[in-house]
Amino acid sequence: MQNKKKRILIGSSGASGMPLLLCCLELIRKAENYESHLILTPSALLTLEHECGLKEKDLQKYADKIYSPEDIGASPASGSFLTEGMLVIPCSMKTLAGIQTGYTDNLLLRAADVTIKEQRRLILAVRESPLSAIHLRNMAQLALLPGVRIMPLMLTYYHCPRTLEDMTNQVAARLVEPFGIKSEEYHRWEGLKT
């Protein structure tokens, strides 16, 4: 029996922004016919605990499957494992550099490399400030590849958010939308109200 659900690979590395990871996983979980396959680096687990007070086992209710970054033989390491693509949220500058150079020494980096070689969608929710010339060069190189989108974790005010949750929902909804996931909480721009 073939798996009928659409798989989205989620990589998470040790940058700030873990509430956004949780929100993206929640949107995928709520979407009909989608499932999430999550790979967290050891640094991601540190920032997850620092920012959300959660441990890896707590993510079992958010993600359909969780892989160890050391499990280089797991399904996402092969292009024959069909996915809709991959979202890296948050994407640290180290993981960005690993993806840019093709240095695939963990499962997250290998899965991103596979996503690129198969010309599937790869969204990198990068987070650092300020950005150095090295960071910007890595982003510029990756942005040239088919299917790759650099979507920095940036605050938005144009939808007039009232709470941090409003702002988090808006950013997360934009990150999962390219995979075909719609969120009711996503405020589309409909022109200035005059």
Ligand X SMILES: Cc1cc2nc3c(=O)[nH]c(=O)nc-3n(C[C@H](O)[C@H](O)[C@H](O)COP(=O)(O)O)c2cc1C
Site for ligand X contains 44 (CB under 6 A): yes
Place of tokens 């996915």: 83
- What is the sign, positive or negative, of the torsion defined by CA atoms of 126, 131, 136, 138? negative
**83 annotated as a binding-site residue:** no
**7 annotated as a binding-site residue:** no
Site for ligand X contains 111 (CB under 6 A): no
**93 annotated as a binding-site residue:** yes
Q: Which is nearer to ligand X, 69 or 85 (CB)?
A: 69
Give the up-direction half-sphere exposure of residue 153: CA atoms within 13 A in the CB hemisphere: 25
In 17-78, where do the E strands start and end? 34-40, 65-67
What does the alpha-carbon distance between residue 31 and residue 29 come to, in Å, rounded to a whole number?
Answer: 6
DSSP 81: S
Q: Which is nearer to ligand X, 13 or 36 (CB)?
A: 13
124 in Cβ contact with 142 (< 8 Å):
yes
Strand 121-126 relative to strand 85-91, pairing: parallel
CB of 101 to ligand X, least distance (A): 13
Contact with ligand X (CB under 6 A): which of 65, 94, 149, 159?
94
Q: Which is nearer to ligand X, 22 or 44 (CB)?
A: 44
Residues 64-93, interacting with ligand X (CB under 6 A) = 92-93
CB of 1 to ligand X, least distance (A): 36
What does the alpha-carbon distance between residue 80 and residue 187 come to, in Å, rounded to a whole number?
Answer: 36
**154 annotated as a binding-site residue:** no
Residues 119-178, interacting with ligand X (CB under 6 A) = 127-128
**Residues contributing to the site for ligand X (CB under 6 A):** 13-16, 41, 43-44, 46-47, 50, 92-95, 127-128
Q: Which residues are annotated as a binding site for dimethylallyl phosphate?
A: 158, 174
